[in-house]
Amino acid sequence: MDFLEVFLQELNEKGQEAIKLIKSFIENKDPTSIHEIYRLFHTIKGSASLVGFDKFKQLFHKIEDYFKRQMNGEDVITEDFMLKLLTVVPEVLKKDSDLTDNELEHYIDIIEGRKSPSEAKAYVTTSETIPAELLQELLSNTLSAENSLMREDTQNALREIRLVKQKLVSLLENTFYIKLRQVLANFEVLVMQEAFSNKKKVKFELQIGEERIEKKDSEMLLNMLTHLVRNAIAHGIELPEERTKKGKPEVGKIIIRSYVQGNELFLEIEDDGRGLEFEKIKQKAIEKGLGNLKPEEVIFVPGFSTKDKADETAGRGIGLDVVKNFATARGGDVEVVSATGKGTRFIVHFPIKTFLVRVLVLEADDLRFCIDLQDILEIVSKAEIKDGQLKQKDKLYDITFSCTSPRFAVITKNNKALLVSNLIGIFDGQVSSESYGMIKGFVKNIFVYPLPIISPEQFLKLQKPSEKVRKVLVIDDSVVTRNILGKFLVNFGYTVFEAENGIEGIEVFKKENPDVIVCDVEMPGIDGFETTRRIRELNKDVPIIIFSTLTSEQLSKGLEVGANAYLSKDEPPERLVRLIERFIQ
């Protein structure tokens, strides 16, 4: 172990000890802890100097000065100052190299009050590196597989390839996913700061397991939880004297807990405050023309607030549309349970994804979809059907899905059966982050277009609606785009018509009268904007989705000529299905 490793280890140990003492000072106002905190920071400063971390030394020298002044009789170590340290120190402990000039200036600005604690993470940068040992292992396994193939030893080659795959999956999962407890590691500091700002006393509990979320969602999740906790402290938790009068402990409580049910992650944010003011919410809803909505629904309407004048945390509704959007965009939802005088609990849930999944790909007439192999009990090649049920090994299974010419039966773990025309095979595929209604997710890397993974509980919804054929017109000069979108949409029961330019698209529209139009912009002849304008002259109501890669100016033009929505070609095609379904419904 070199000097740098020793320093980083000591930095973490001493820093965590200091954080614990700072929290104790805030809670108990114990002045005897000041000298011990000073000693810890003094040690860190000296060690930083020895390993050449000059900016570290300057930062902790600045912090150390405040404690010296306090011990010399000045009253500078306040609760507000300690809260600033609780913001800065945990972020500094994440560093594995010296601070930059900007970082040093940034943290000193926070300590001295020129910047707010909420800006603490502005200059923290983290880099993801792949361990050299893992790269060596992957190379070794790849070479072994290559050599085995040259010797025509296919079994050994397959074994080595599987090892490489397992290690790559583990590596990629660690790259794209993060533990929820890591995301919320410093959340207690936020609660302390908000409680201090609102002159309230709050105990915070984090009941989090080993659940992981996608890293790309972590910042939005943190923002969502911050909205809820700030609202709980500002408008839910009462002042100590008010709580005492109500017979409550003067210290309020906020709990964030997580758990998994099925394939969904649940997050509960609970407080023991005054609860939602239902009558006030109803009255304000009526004033805003939202009287048809329940109070539990209206609080999620964008911009809704029970306050007449907005401020940074005004009203329980501020930011709740962000919470709703976060959940629904990921195929989930949010509910609220509240009791006047007792508190409020928000329940946010959304599907969780694994990076790789093994699926069985099936065909049923012109539908192609897949089922997670873990959801399958048995596959039957010669199915005996009796009174609308599948008979297999003296057991009867309800048939929840069938097709025109069934050749195979798949029995799922919920003891249901579906009849399909063909088994394409078992594949490993990468799971996308999208989910949609009956669909658990989409699996990529098997075919050129993503395949939906159908939940066994939802097979009845997979049956094609007989009362109405849903028609989509795709207008695009790219044959690749038309083919991929066409096959993809057919999997959802749509009848798809294609046109390679605007003029042809208008003629197909007149003939087929589609329910939705998906239109590119850059095409030979008339472009997508002119195509949209002409179709809009023929029909004012048909939904038109611009499917292209546009600048904001071009997007505005598309909406001006009559398009209803825009989706970038950079987005996964499964989002197009959600958009189409929204318009059809």
pLDDT of residue 465: 46
pLDDT of residue 2: 63
- Per-residue pLDDT in tens (0 to 9) along the chain, 585 residues: 466 788 888 898 999 999 989 988 888 877 888 999 998 998 898 888 878 899 999 999 999 999 999 988 898 999 889 989 988 998 898 888 899 888 999 999 999 988 876 554 444 444 455 566 665 666 666 666 666 666 677 777 777 777 777 777 777 777 778 889 888 887 888 898 889 889 999 999 999 988 888 888 888 888 889 889 999 999 999 999 999 999 999 999 999 999 988 678 999 999 999 999 888 888 888 988 888 888 888 888 877 776 655 444 444 444 688 788 888 877 788 999 999 999 999 999 987 766 667 889 998 887 888 888 888 889 988 778 877 788 888 888 888 888 888 889 999 888 888 888 899 988 877 776 555 555 667 777 777 777 888 877 666 555 544 456 789 999 999 887 888 888 888 877 789 999 999 999 999 999 999 999 999 998 989 999 999 999 999 998 899 999 887 666 667 788 888 888 888 777 767 778 878 887 876
Fold of 471-584: Rossmann fold (3.40.50)
233: DSSP letter: I
In the three-class reduction of DSSP (H, G, I as helix; E, B as strand; rest coil), residue 389 is classed as strand
What phi-psi label fits residue 66: left (phi over 0), alpha (psi between -120 and 50 degrees) or beta?
alpha
Structure tokens at 398: 């309800």
Q: Which residues of 553-580 are buried (b: 16+ CB within 10 A; e: fewer)?
A: ebbebbeebbbbbbbeeeeebbebbbbb
pLDDT of residue 429: 78
Distance (Å, whole) CA 192 – CA 90? 14
Name which CATH class applies to 3-119: mainly alpha
Distance (Å, whole) CA 488 – CA 573? 8
pLDDT of residue 270: 96
pLDDT of residue 125: 41
Question: Which residues neighbour 314 within 8 Å (Cβ) at sequence distance 6 or greater?
Answer: 305, 307
Distance (Å, whole) CA 456 – CA 366? 19
The CATH number of domain 184-351, selected from 3.20.20.70, 3.30.565.10, 1.25.40.20, 3.30.930.10:
3.30.565.10
In angstroms, the Cα distances linking 482 to 196, 526, 548 are 58, 18, 13
pLDDT of residue 434: 53
Q: Which is nearest to 232 in space by CA: 174, 118, 315?
A: 315
